[in-house]
Amino acid sequence: MDTLKGKTALITGAGRGIGQAIAFRLAKEGANIVVNNLDAAPANETVATIKAAGGNAVAVVGSVTEDGFAERFIQTALDTYGDINIIVNNAGYTWDSFIHKMSDKQWDAMMDVHVKAPFQILRAAAPHFKAARKKEAGEGIENFRKVVNISSVAGTGGNAGQVNYSSAKSAVLGMTKTLAKEWGRFKVNVNCVAFGWIETRLTEAVDGEKKAIEVEGNAIPVGIPSPNLAGMKMMVPLGRGGTVQEAAGGVYLLCSPDSNYISGQTLVVGGGFSF
């Protein structure tokens, strides 16, 4: 408890699922949380839950792909809490098709949310990281900040029907390794978590009728046919999908002080499964 007391963590896509679980875990450890979500109601619910438990949180509603979002997100953290210690680039979704059926719109959507948005957020944070390190170095302080980018086993090994998502999540690995090299001098640990099968609304079982969510005016199919899930269960050495709390635990490891000498790495949270 309180391993992150006084730290400020920014988490995209934190209104539901894995992102919300990450927000709750980091808040439990004492961090101030800046919650982003595309929709206001889930973002405000996450904030209210954190506050009810005695924590601090503020919402920044909107799409991470909007013009100016990154600057608004970063500035809200600085205006509210005065510092940025942790950034978790979690927001995202899948929009699957085999390549011969995939549209440019599907490709661009995955690149925008999984690659361009994290790039813009981290670029907006860079001046603060640089200035904070300069100040702390002058005071003889070694203070580590954390970036955790979210990838997938589809990004580490590919996955049929997900050329757009897999390509985007693979790009996240390159971004992570590059920024670990660029930002080491600022005492910023930049790491990546690649999730396997985690049980969320995007991976819930579907039988017969397909389910969909709406993302920025597009109907996005979600869920996995039950027979496919049964096959996936057999492929996971631990015998089941992970919970969102277990997913959040992997992220927390790379936000904690125990990761101060770990940077440029990808942690697979998949119950032993990888492509």
> Catalytic residue positions?
165
Q: How far apart are CA 197 and CA 126, in angstroms?
A: 32
| DSSP three-state, residue 211 | strand
Q: How far apart are CA 4 and CA 1, in angstroms?
A: 8
| DSSP three-state, residue 229 | helix
Could you tell me if 185 and 179 are in contact, meaning their C-beta atoms sit under 8 angstroms apart?
no
Q: Element (H or E) spanning 155, and its range?
A: helix 153-157
Greatest Cα pair distance in the chain: 63
Could you tell me if 127 and 139 are in contact, meaning their C-beta atoms sit under 8 angstroms apart?
no
